[in-house]
């Protein structure tokens, strides 16, 4: 018989979660319902690390002032939406140097062809043909470094990031096979409900973080009257039934949003609005969003009033993250054959 007590140290380590979000644009209800809202509750089951992926934000042109403000805003928002910095490791990616270091090392175990096949790279290249920089190409390798540094088991992401997690697995397996088991090979996990939220003004396009002036995106920090206005103006169709279907993209999107806000299914939302007209339905979705976002905005505003306290939280998070990251990074340097001092 095996001695259980001896095994315990390793097998009973709680599984680890890592995820990150870029401080580009303004976080939307789509980001929240599609991914972020599930982050706080994961601490019940996992040891969680969450980062503001500021290093990833410079792969597309961004003003220094904007990067700085976006990063602070997102960091505070993550706390405001429920990520307790005492129960999770919350940090700014650029505060832990190991991310850039491991990225360079992993570049040498990533094939040019593999990185070339990334859909997001191809899309972004098309959108900004005059700024197809090497960082944009390298983006998924930095992402792999983020994940692998912490030996994460699970990576909660929106479905547009699954291909990047797949590449991360390929890199991890290649390194493990070339040397010896070094990295935990992670799995990507998309949420059950509301994985894809579309624009309210063009329900065939993703709800974007940079839809500045338009009414297509609901931002997490929008005041209630703005949220209501955006929902009331949401594009629908000339039918009258609140029912999800392929040719009713607008209504389907609103049903998805409503279901995600109430942690229920689209089918049960359909039943709830069986006899409702579009105007009533849209107002009800708006109200649900307002109520969900109100406490988040209030907590956010309180956090932003004390910049010093926010800095301290960043500092503490970076220290905890760096300690774990260093262990992995040291191992990687050693295995490759670098002389260590």
Minimum separation from the CB atom of position 161 to ligand TRP (A): 5
Q: Do the Cβ atoms of 178 and 108 come closer than 8 Å?
A: no
| Interface positions with ligand TRP (CB under 6 A) | 18-22, 53, 56, 143, 146-147, 155, 157, 161
Of 207 and 254, the one with the shorter C-beta distance to ligand TRP is 207
CA-angle at 33, arms to 147 and 294, nearest 5°: 120
Minimum separation from the CB atom of position 92 to ligand TRP (A): 12
Minimum separation from the CB atom of position 24 to ligand TRP (A): 8
> d(Cα 100, Cα 55) in Å, to the nearest integer?
8
> What is the tally of helices (H) and strands (E) in the chain?
14, 5
Minimum separation from the CB atom of position 260 to ligand TRP (A): 17
Picking from 49, 148, 153, the residue whose alpha carbon sits closest to that of residue 105 is 148
Of 77 and 235, the one with the shorter C-beta distance to ligand TRP is 77
Of 47 and 146, the one with the shorter C-beta distance to ligand TRP is 146
Element spanning 70, H or E: helix 64-80
Q: Which residues are catalytic?
A: 124, 206, 209
> d(Cα 296, Cα 305) in Å, to the nearest integer?
15
> d(Cα 141, Cα 59) in Å, to the nearest integer?
13
Of 53 and 234, the one with the shorter C-beta distance to ligand TRP is 53
Minimum separation from the CB atom of position 106 to ligand TRP (A): 13
Tokens of 10: 């390793």
Q: Do the Cβ atoms of 266 and 47 come closer than 8 Å?
A: no
> d(Cα 125, Cα 287) in Å, to the nearest integer?
38
> d(Cα 255, Cα 249) in Å, to the nearest integer?
10
Q: How far does CA 185 lie from the centroid of its chain?
A: 19
Of 30 and 286, the one with the shorter C-beta distance to ligand TRP is 30
Tokens of 76: 């505070």
């Amino acid at each position: 018989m095996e001695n259980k007590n001896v095994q315990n140290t390793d097998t009973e380590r709680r599984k680890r979660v890592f995820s990150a979000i870029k401080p580009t644009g303004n976080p939307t209800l789509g980001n929240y319902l599609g991914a972020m809202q599930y982050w706080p509750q994961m601490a019940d089951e996992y040891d969680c690390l969450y980062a503001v992926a500021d290093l990833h934000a410079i792969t597309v042109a961004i003003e220094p002032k904007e990067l700085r403000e976006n990063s602070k805003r997102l960091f505070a928002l993550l706390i405001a939406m429920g990520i307790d910095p005492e129960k999770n490791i919350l940090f700014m990616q650029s505060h832990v140097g190991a991310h850039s270091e491991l990225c360079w090392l992993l570049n040498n175990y990533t094939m040019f062809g593999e990185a070339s096949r990334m859909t997001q790279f191809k899309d972004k290249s098309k959108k900004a043909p005059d700024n197809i920089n090497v960082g944009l190409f390298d983006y998924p390798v930095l992402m792999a470094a983020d994940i692998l540094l912490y030996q994460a088991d699970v990576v909660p992401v929106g479905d547009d990031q699954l291909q990047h997690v797949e590449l991360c697995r390929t890199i991890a397996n290649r390194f493990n096979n070339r040397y010896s088991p070094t990295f935990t090979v992670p799995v990507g996990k998309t949420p059950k409900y509301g994985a894809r939220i579309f624009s309210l003004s063009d329900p065939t396009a993703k709800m974007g973080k940079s839809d500045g002036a338009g009414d297509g995106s609901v931002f997490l920090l929008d005041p209630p009257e703005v949220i209501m206005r955006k929902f009331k103006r949401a594009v629908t169709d000339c039918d009258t039934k609140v029912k999800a279907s392929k040719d009713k993209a607008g209504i389907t999107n609103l049903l998805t949003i409503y279901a995600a806000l109430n942690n229920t299914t689209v089918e049960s939302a359909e039943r709830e609005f069986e006899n409702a007209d579009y105007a009533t339905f849209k107002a009800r979705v708006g109200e649900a969003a307002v109520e969900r976002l109100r406490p988040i905005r209030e907590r956010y505003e309180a956090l932003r009033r004390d910049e010093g306290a926010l800095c301290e939280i960043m500092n503490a998070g970076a220290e905890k993250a760096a300690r774990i990251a260093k262990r992995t990074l040291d191992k990687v340097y050693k295995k490759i054959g670098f002389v260590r001092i």
